[in-house]
C-alpha cells in the first residue's frame, strides 16, 4: 500500500530550501509501537493503521488492549522493556520503532532505569536491523540545570541519538488535548482557583502544542530521509507565560479572568503537593510536572518545516486546542487519558487470583446480593457508568474524605474520573480504581490504586433471574502484615454503612432507567 504526500509551501521553511516541500511516494512500513496503552501511543496506533502500516505493539499487560477498536488489526507482543531478551524478539522484522515510554516518577533510581531501558531499545534495534527509532522528548533550555524528569528525558534522547540506529527525537512542550496530564492540570487549577498566589514558574515561557499536531509529526516521521539522526523542536509557534495559558483556558471555558500573582519563590515541592490536592494528577506525577515548569519550554528552531509540512489548515493555536479538547470531552469522545498508562501501583499489583487460590491466605470479603425486578441490561448500564460524575451511590461525603486522605499520602484520590461517562474499556481508570476485568453486560472487576497496606478489588456483577435480575457486589482485600489487618478492621464499620446502601442505590437507579425507557 502506498501513500502520496502532496506538494505544499511551508510558511516557516528557511530560504535555503526554497520554501518548498516536495511530495513523494512512501511504502507502507512494519512499525513497532511501545507505550500503546498510554496517552500518545494509544492514539498513534490507529493513525498508523489508517496510513497502511503493519503495526506491532509491545506491552507489559496485553489484556489492557482487549477492548480497543484496533485490537484485531495489530500484532500484540507481551514484553518488558527492562528485559533485553523480550525487547530483542519484539523488534524482529521491524522498520521503525516508536519509543513512547517514559516514567513520570521522580524517586531515587528512576533516571538510571530510564537510561537502561533506552539502551535496551537502542541495542535491540541495532541487532534487529531497525531503520529508525522515533522518540518524543521535551522542550528545554540548552544551558542551566534541568529538573530530574526533564534531565532524564533529555538523557534518553541522547542515548538514542548516540546509538547505531538513526533516531528522530521530537521535543515538545505542554501537550494540549482531551485527557492529557498537562491539560488536566491547567483545567483544574483554572476552574478551582479564581485567585491564585502562585510560585514564580507561572511566569515561565511555554510553547504549547495540540495533541493532534504531535500525532501529525509522529505519523510523518516514517517519511523523513533515511539515515537522518537528530532532534526537532515542535510547537504551535505561540509563546505564552503559564499564567496566560491558564487565563486562555478560562476565556475558552467561559470563566472570568483569573487573578494570578507570582510569588518570588519557585517552591516546586510545595506546589507539587498543592497541584496534587486540587487536580486529578497524583503527587507522583504532579511533582515532576511542576519541577519541569521551573524553566522555559520554547522551540529554538523550526527545521521540521523543511521535511514535514504543518497539518492541513495549519498548526492549531492554543485556544483552538483547548476548545477541541473541551468539545471532545463533552461528546464523550476521549480516546485515551494520561491515566491510561500503567501507574507504579498498577505495575506492582498482580491480578486477582481465582477463589480456590485463596486457600491458606488471609482474605477479607464483603459480599452483598440484591434481587430486583429490573432487567439485567439496565442494571449493567448503572454498573458500567459508576464513578466519575455519577459517583458511587453511597455516602458521597465519606468517599470524598477518603479520596482527600489518599491524595495527601501520594495516592490517586477520587478526582481522576473516567475516560468516557458511559462505557469502559479494560485498563480504564475509574477514580482510584482501574478496570482489571470487563465481561460486558455481566461483570466489572476494579483493582484499587489507592494507598492501602495490601491489595483490594471491587467486583460488580449482574445475572438474569426470571423476569428480573440479581445484582452482586463483592469487595475483596488481601492485607499486608499486621498494619493491613488493622486497616481492614478500622474501616469495617464504614463498610457496614457504605456497601449496603451502594447495592440498594444501584438497583434503584437501574429501576429509574427502566421507567424512563
Residues 35 and 60 in one domain: yes
- Separation between Cα atoms, residue 177 and residue 325, nearest integer Å: 5
Among 285, 306, 340, give the residue marking a domain's end: 340
Residues 84 and 133 in one domain: yes
SS3 92: coil
CATH number of domain containing 386: 3.30.530.20
**What is the value of pTM for the model shown?**
0.82
Containing structural domain, residue 20: 2-340
Length of the chain: 517
As for how many domains the chain has, the answer is: 2
- Separation between Cα atoms, residue 320 and residue 315, nearest integer Å: 10
Does pLDDT of 107 surpass 70? no
pLDDT of 270 reads 76
Residues 333 and 394 in one domain: no
Does pLDDT of 434 surpass 50? yes
- Separation between Cα atoms, residue 434 and residue 284, nearest integer Å: 17
Average pLDDT, the chain: 87
User: Given pLDDT bands bounded at 50, 70 and 90, which one contains residue 104?
Assistant: low
Residues 294 and 406 in one domain: no
- Separation between Cα atoms, residue 354 and residue 516, nearest integer Å: 38
User: Given pLDDT bands bounded at 50, 70 and 90, which one contains residue 351?
Assistant: confident
Does pLDDT of 25 surpass 50? no
pLDDT of 86 reads 77
User: Given pLDDT bands bounded at 50, 70 and 90, which one contains residue 23?
Assistant: very low
The answer to whether the Cα torsion of 173, 176, 178, 183 is positive or negative is: positive
pLDDT of 122 reads 95
CATH number of domain containing 319: 3.40.50.720
**Mean pLDDT for the stretch of residues 222-229:** 95
List 167's β-bridge partners, or say none. 133
SS3 470: strand
Does pLDDT of 311 surpass 60? yes
User: Given pLDDT bands bounded at 50, 70 and 90, which one contains residue 22?
Assistant: very low
Residues 287 and 376 in one domain: no
Q: For the chain, give the percent of residues with pLDDT over 70.
A: 91
Helix (H) or strand (E) segment spanning residue 202: none
Among 295, 322, 340, give the residue marking a domain's end: 340
pLDDT of 30 reads 96
Residues 88 and 125 in one domain: yes
Residues 322 and 356 in one domain: no
Among 340, 360, 381, give the residue marking a domain's end: 340
User: Given pLDDT bands bounded at 50, 70 and 90, which one contains residue 106?
Assistant: low
User: Given pLDDT bands bounded at 50, 70 and 90, which one contains residue 228?
Assistant: very high
Residue of 181, 184, 96 whose CA lies nearest to 135: 96
**Mean pLDDT for the stretch of residues 23-32:** 73
Q: For the chain, give the percent of residues with pLDDT over 90.
A: 60
Q: pLDDT digits over 121-177, tens only?
A: 999 999 999 999 999 999 998 877 888 888 899 999 999 999 999 999 999 999 999
pLDDT of 197 reads 83
Q: Which residue has the cell 534541568?
A: 146
Residues 251 and 370 in one domain: no
Q: Cα separations (Å) of 80 from 93, 107, 340?
A: 18, 20, 17
Q: Cα separations (Å) of 127 from 33, 81, 84, 221?
A: 17, 15, 11, 22
User: Given pLDDT bands bounded at 50, 70 and 90, which one contains residue 19?
Assistant: very low
Residues 130 and 231 in one domain: yes
Residues 87 and 192 in one domain: yes
Q: Which residue has the cell 485556544?
A: 319
> 20-21 and 8-9: which strand pairing?
antiparallel
Quick one: angle between helices 396-408 and 481-516, nearest 10? 140
**Mean pLDDT for the stretch of residues 282-289:** 80
Residues 323 and 373 in one domain: no
Residues 241 and 387 in one domain: no
pLDDT of 269 reads 74
Amino acid at each position: 500500500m502506498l501513500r502520496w504526500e502532496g506538494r505544499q509551501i511551508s510558511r516557516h521553511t528557511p530560504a535555503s530550501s526554497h520554501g518548498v516541500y516536495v511530495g513523494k511516494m512512501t511504502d507502507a512500513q512494519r512499525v513497532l509501537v511501545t507505550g500503546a496503552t498510554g496517552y500518545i501511543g494509544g492514539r498513534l496506533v490507529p493513525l498508523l493503521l489508517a496510513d497502511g502500516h503493519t503495526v506491532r505493539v509491545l506491552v507489559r499487560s496485553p489484556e489492557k488492549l482487549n477492548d480497543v477498536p484496533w485490537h484485531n488489526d495489530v500484532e500484540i507482543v507481551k514484553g518488558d522493556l527492562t528485559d533485553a531478551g523480550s525487547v530483542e524478539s519484539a523488534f524482529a522484522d521491524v522498520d521503525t520503532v516508536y519509543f513512547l515510554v517514559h516514567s513520570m516518577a521522580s524517586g531515587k533510581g528512576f533516571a538510571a532505569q530510564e537510561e537502561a531501558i533506552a539502551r535496551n531499545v537502542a541495542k535491540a534495534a541495532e541487532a534487529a536491523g531497525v531503520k529508525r527509532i522515533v522518540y518524543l522528548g521535551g522542550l528545554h533550555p540548552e544551558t542551566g540545570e534541568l529538573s530530574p524528569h526533564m534531565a532524564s528525558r533529555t538523557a534518553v534522547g541522547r542515548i538514542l541519538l548516540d546509538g547505531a540506529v538513526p533516531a528522530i527525537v521530537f521535543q515538545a512542550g505542554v501537550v494540549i488535548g482531551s485527557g492529557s496530564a498537562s491539560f488536566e492540570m491547567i483545567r483544574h487549577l483554572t476552574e478551582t482557583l479564581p485567585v491564585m498566589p502562585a510560585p514564580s514558574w507561572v511566569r515561565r515561557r511555554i510553547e504549547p502544542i495540540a495533541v493532534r499536531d504531535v500525532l501529525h509529526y509522529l505519523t510523518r516521521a516514517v517519511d523523513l530521509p533515511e539515515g537522518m539522526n537528530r532532534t526537532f523542536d515542535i510547537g504551535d509557534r505561540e509563546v505564552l507565560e503559564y499564567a496566560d495559558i491558564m487565563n486562555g483556558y478560562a476565556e475558552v471555558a467561559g470563566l472570568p479572568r483569573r487573578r494570578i500573582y507570582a510569588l518570588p519563590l519557585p517552591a516546586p515541592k510545595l506546589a507539587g503537593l498543592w497541584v496534587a490536592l486540587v487536580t486529578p494528577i497524583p503527587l507522583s506525577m504532579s511533582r515532576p510536572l511542576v519541577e519541569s515548569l521551573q524553566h522555559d519550554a520554547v522551540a529554538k528552531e523550526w527545521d521540521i518545516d523543511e521535511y514535514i509540512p504543518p497539518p492541513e489548515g495549519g498548526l492549531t493555536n492554543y485556544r483552538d486546542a483547548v476548545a477541541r479538547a473541551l468539545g471532545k470531552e463533552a461528546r464523550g469522545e476521549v480516546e485515551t487519558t494520561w491515566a491510561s498508562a500503567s501507574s507504579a501501583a498498577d505495575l506492582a499489583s498482580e491480578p486477582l487470583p481465582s477463589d480456590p487460590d485463596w486457600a491458606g491466605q488471609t482474605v477479607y470479603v464483603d459480599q452483598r446480593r440484591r434481587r430486583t425486578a429490573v432487567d439485567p441490561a439496565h442494571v449493567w448500564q448503572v454498573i458500567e457508568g459508576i464513578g466519575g460524575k455519577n459517583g458511587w451511590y453511597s455516602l458521597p461525603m465519606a468517599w470524598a474524605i477518603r479520596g482527600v486522605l489518599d491524595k495527601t499520602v501520594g495516592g490517586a484520590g477520587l478526582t481522576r474520573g473516567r475516560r468516557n461517562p458511559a462505557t469502559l474499556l479494560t485498563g480504564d481508570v475509574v477514580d482510584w480504581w482501574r478496570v482489571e476485568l470487563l465481561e460486558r453486560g455481566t461483570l466489572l472487576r476494579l483493582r484499587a490504586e489507592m494507598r492501602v497496606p495490601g491489595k483490594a478489588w471491587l467486583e460488580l456483577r449482574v445475572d438474569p433471574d426470571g423476569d428480573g435480575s440479581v445484582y452482586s457486589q463483592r469487595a475483596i482485600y488481601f492485607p499486608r502484615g499486621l498494619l493491613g489487618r488493622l486497616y481492614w478492621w478500622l474501616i469495617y464499620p464504614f463498610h457496614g454503612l457504605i456497601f449496603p446502601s451502594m447495592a440498594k442505590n444501584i438497583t434503584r437507579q437501574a429501576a429509574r432507567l427502566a421507567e424512563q425507557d
